[in-house]
């Protein structure tokens, strides 16, 4: 891939890095494309073999000639179940060829998948040098083509790479423009080494972020035989999904190992514990608790996290992941404090006080933590929560919070006085409204607010974010 890019003046470059990202989904049939794959490691070699099995003509590209020769001889360059068998099938059927000439490969195909290495740089960032080099060579190739070409990035990269790095490099090297002349997609892979072929034919999900509808149509047609429910999203979201998946898997491994170390110190069989743990598909292995929102609270989570951390300390067991949970939770509350800093001196109203909707439990409510901080700074607060009845039962909770969390004592003393009778009154008497419960009652009340009233949304009231300059979500 040692190809020198063409030199263009700035006027020929398209400012792809600042285009709004949209979600494109296919709407019509496309012809079966020929596909080139740049990088014949795990992802590239598996993609070559499996797509050829589905009937696609494949051209593989790599700078390592031993990989190129292995592919051309129908041999697997890596150890992976069934890979050699499928490669041999593709070579014998005339559907697989490999070369070290990237430009030639792109010239004879319609789609190019980039699966090059993205190692960690010395500063901990992602090294994109191989991605850049491949993109420039692809650009030189499509400069000599008259037909539309689709470039699909498949390696793990920071969000923004496809539109801010790959597309501009191709434009500079080709003199062509993103959209009319070529399209780009990000299509993350979710293959597990050892069972990659099986995963390809039965994917957990297929995600495509595309620059335009034509590119989306082309890529969706490639996966039609193995997944008819392709998930279409923005390119940046598709890039981020890959990172999130792998960080989550690492988190699960680290969590399981920390539990194992604690169990070993207590002479408990950790596999018995975790075998029971994973049987809970309603909460433990589910989407529950995985949607960004406000900090956790209540009578259980904070107390149990502290207790397990203390237990591990007594046992001399290091559990850095578990020990990081409370600081992480506090940092999320601190983010809400920062979001409210510009509103110093304004009337701040809170919709929802309990630690979550549908309960009157105030214990360790992160909203109360946020309010107590603002109150200590002299801010004017108002609140409403329909679950609260300031009778004897609630007074017991207030006394508990007052003594258990001394920094909230002042707030507990004033809580009833600053609470308004309904959501409409709260909205009418606030300059900025903080929402911590996503309820229909609060959605209805907020719809009546004056145009100059700001909203700090801690609960994601709607899937579709309002296009309003005075709406601010804490994590969206």
For the annotated catalytic residues, the residue numbers are 300
User: Are 310 and 342 within 8 A, CB to CB?
Assistant: no
Phi–psi pair at 137, nearest 5 degrees: -65, -40
Count of CB atoms situated within 10 Å of the CB of 86: 23
DSSP 8-state assignment for residue 343: G
How far, in Å, CA of 330 to CA of 393, rounded?
28
Of 406, 425, 410, nearest to 378 (Cα)?
A: 410
> What DSSP designation does 78 have?
S
Query: Token pair for residue 308?
Result: 């397990």
How far is C-alpha 367 from the geometric centre of its chain's CA atoms?
26
What backbone phi and psi angles, to 5 degrees, belong to 61?
A: -135, 135
Antiparallel, parallel or unpaired: β 182-186 and 207-210:
antiparallel
Element (H, E) at 183: strand 182-186
Contact 148, 177 (CB under 8 A): no
Supply the DSSP symbol for 269: -
Q: What is the CA radius of gyration of the chain?
A: 28
**Two structure tokens written together for 473:** 């979500």
Which residues contact residue 93 at a Cβ distance below 8 angstroms, ignoring those fewer than 6 apart?
52
Q: Which residue do the tokens 């990202």 mark? A: 21
- Asked if 136 and 153 count as a contact pair (C-beta separation under 8 A), the reply is no
If one counts every other C-beta atom within 10 angstroms of the C-beta of residue 119, the result is 9
| Distance of alpha carbon 133 from alpha carbon 457, whole angstroms | 43
Residue-wise DSSP of 38-83: E--SHHHHHHHHHHHHTT--EEEE-S-HHHHHHHHTT--SS--TTH
């Amino acid at each position: 891939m040692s190809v020198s890019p063409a030199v263009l003046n700035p006027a020929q470059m398209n400012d792809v890095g600042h285009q709004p990202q949209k979600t494109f989904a296919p709407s019509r049939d496309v012809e079966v494309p020929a596909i080139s794959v740049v990088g014949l490691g795990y992802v590239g070699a598996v993609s070559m073999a499996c797509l050829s099995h589905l009937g696609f003509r494949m051209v593989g590209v790599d700078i390592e000639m031993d990989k190129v020769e292995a592919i051309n001889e129908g041999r697997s360059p890596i150890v992976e179940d069934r890979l050699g068998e499928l490669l041999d099938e593709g070579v014998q059927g005339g559907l697989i060829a490999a070369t070290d000439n990237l430009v030639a490969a792109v010239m004879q195909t319609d789609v190019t998948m980039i699966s090059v290495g993205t190692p960690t740089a010395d500063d901990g960032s992602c090294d994109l040098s191989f991605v850049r080099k491949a993109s420039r060579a692809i650009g030189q190739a499509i400069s000599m083509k008259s037909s539309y070409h689709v470039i699909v990035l498949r390696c793990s990269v920071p969000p923004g790479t496809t539109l801010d790095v790959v597309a501009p490099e191709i434009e500079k090297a080709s003199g062509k423009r993103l959209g009319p002349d070529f399209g780009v997609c990000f299509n993350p892979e979710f293959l597990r080494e050892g069972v990659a072929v099986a995963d390809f034919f039965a994917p957990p999900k297929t995600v495509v972020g595309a620059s335009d509808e034509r590119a989306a149509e082309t890529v969706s047609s490639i996966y039609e035989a193995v997944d008819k429910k392709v998930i279409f999203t923005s390119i940046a979201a598709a890039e981020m999904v890959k990172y999130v998946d792998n960080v989550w898997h690492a988190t699960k491994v680290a969590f399981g190992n920390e539990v194992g170390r604690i169990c070993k110190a207590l002479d408990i069989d950790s596999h018995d514990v975790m075998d029971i743990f994973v049987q809970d598909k309603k909460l433990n292995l589910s989407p529950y608790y995985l949607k960004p929102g406000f900090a956790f609270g209540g009578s259980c989570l904070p107390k149990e996290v502290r207790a397990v951390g203390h237990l591990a300390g007594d046992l001399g067991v290091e559990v850095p992941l578990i020990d990081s949970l409370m600081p992480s939770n506090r940092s999320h509350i601190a983010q809400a404090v920062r979001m409210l800093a510009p509103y110093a001196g304004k009337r701040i109203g809170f919709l929802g006080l309990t630690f979550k909707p549908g309960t009157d439990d105030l214990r360790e409510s992160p909203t109360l933590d946020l309010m107590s901080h603002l109150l200590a700074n002299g801010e004017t607060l108002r609140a409403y929560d329909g679950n609260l009845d300031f009778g004897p039962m609630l007074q017991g909770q207030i006394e508990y919070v007052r003594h258990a969390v001394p920094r909230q004592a002042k707030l507990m003393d004033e809580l009833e006085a600053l609470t308004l009778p309904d959501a409409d009154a709260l909205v009418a008497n606030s300059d900025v409204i903080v929402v911590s419960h996503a309820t229909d009652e609060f959605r209805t009340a907020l719809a009546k607010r004056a145009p100059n009233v700001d909203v700090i949304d801690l609960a994601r009231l709607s899937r579709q974010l309002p296009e309003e300059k005075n709406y601010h979500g804490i994590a969206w």
